[in-house]
Amino acid sequence: MGLLARVGAGDLAALARLATYVENQEPLGLEAIERLYASTGRALTIGLTGPPGAGKSTLIDGLISTWRERGLRVGVIAIDPTSPLSGGATLGDRIRMRERPDDAGVFVRSMASRGRRGGLAPATAAMIHLLDAAGFDRVLVETVGVGQEEVEITRFVHLTVLLQIPGSGDGIQALKAGLLELADIYVVNKSDLPGADLLARELSGIAALSSSLDPKGEDAVPVVRVSAVNGDGIVNLVDAIERIGVRRRDASNLDRIARAELVAVMTESIRTRVEAATNRADIDRLVREVADRRQTPRRAAEEMLAALSR
């Protein structure tokens, strides 16, 4: 039986192998997505972002349990901000923690955010399609809300959950990073800590303000308080995800996601061509001219672009 057929039959070991091809955008992985794409679109896809230490791992554990109790299969893609040097090894433990080897209804995949041929964004979009096609009803993409690239991944999901904790000043950080603007649900974790009331009020205030400024008149972003460690509020969060998920699967949002993936695939394809071109020996002349100030960067770039499209 081929790899694709085994994945279709629910073989998680086969899925793990295919996922590696997809992550590295190898021919086998690209071909698999070409063949599977028509059977995607069933899963509800959710982004989860928040600062390090906000309790994302514990929260994901709770989400998985709740969804499993409702008979839903759950796939998790964890984007780890690692360099090729460290190879993501430091994060292995927290990934393994969430795996449930005895449960074929759960699949967890970690992806390093850097050092990959083919770009993070197209690989993440493809990984979502793979888990969707493999029959996972909920696909959760976890990112750490620090880097621009990690945050942009949330453009490939139906809705995004932003996790915050009291007393860390992260509200301001999130505001600065533009995270608040792209979230559909705000979650206050560790809601028994002092400052949780204040944080929840602040987030509600921002949500109300944004809603009042929204020309489309969308509902204000809900603020859900949880304590991931003891499970309080997780059911409320799942209910909010399911409720908003229905709304966010309309045509305009599906178009938004398709458009984002198209741009990501095109940008990556062009970037590859540009890099290949700039590494060609005959480009060295232009580079030298720019370095020597005989030619401006902009003029040289125009010349190279003209050469590329010939």
- Site for a second copy, rule CB under 8 A: 30, 33-34, 37-41, 81-86, 90, 113-115, 125, 146-149, 172, 175-178, 180-181, 251, 254-255, 257-259, 261-263, 265-267, 269-271, 274-275, 278, 284, 286-288, 290-294, 296-302, 304-305, 309
Residue 210: φ, ψ to 5°? -60, -40
Closer CB to a second copy, residue 1 or residue 270? 270
Query: Residues 221, 196: contact at Cβ < 8 Å?
Result: no
Shortest spacing between CB 232 and a second copy, in angstroms? 29
The nearer residue to a second copy, 30 or 72, going by C-beta atoms, is 30
Q: How far is the CB of 187 from a second copy (least distance, A)?
A: 20
Specify the residue, 112 or 226, whose C-beta has the smaller distance to a second copy: 112
What b/e readout covers 164-184, taking b as 16+ CB neighbours within 10 angstroms? bbbebebbeebeebebbebbb
Distance between CA 174 and CA 165 in Å, rounded?
11
- CA 127 to CA 164: how far, in whole Å? 26
53: nearest Cα among 19, 94, 98: 94
Q: How far is the CB of 256 from a second copy (least distance, A)?
A: 9
Minimum distance between the CB of residue 234 and a second copy, rounded to whole angstroms? 29
Type of residue at 98 = R
Min dist. Cβ of residue 193 to a second copy (A): 22
Choice between 246 and 305, CB closer to a second copy: 305
How far is residue 206's CA from residue 222's CA, in Å, rounded to a whole number? Answer: 11
Structure-block tokens of residue 120 = 């993070």
Two tokens at 31?
Answer: 């071909």
* Residue 277 in tokens: 């071109």
**CB nearer to a second copy: pick between 20 and 39:** 39
CB closer to a second copy out of 1 and 276: 276
Handedness of CA 200, 162, 81, 101 (dihedral sign): positive
Shortest distance, position 288 Cβ to a second copy, whole Å: 7
Nearer to a second copy, 48 or 125 (CB): 125
Residues 6+ apart with CB under 8 A from 165: 50, 51, 53, 54, 55, 188, 189, 190, 193, 199
The whole-angstrom separation of Cα 173 and Cα 170 is 5
Closest separation in Å from C-beta 19 to a second copy: 17
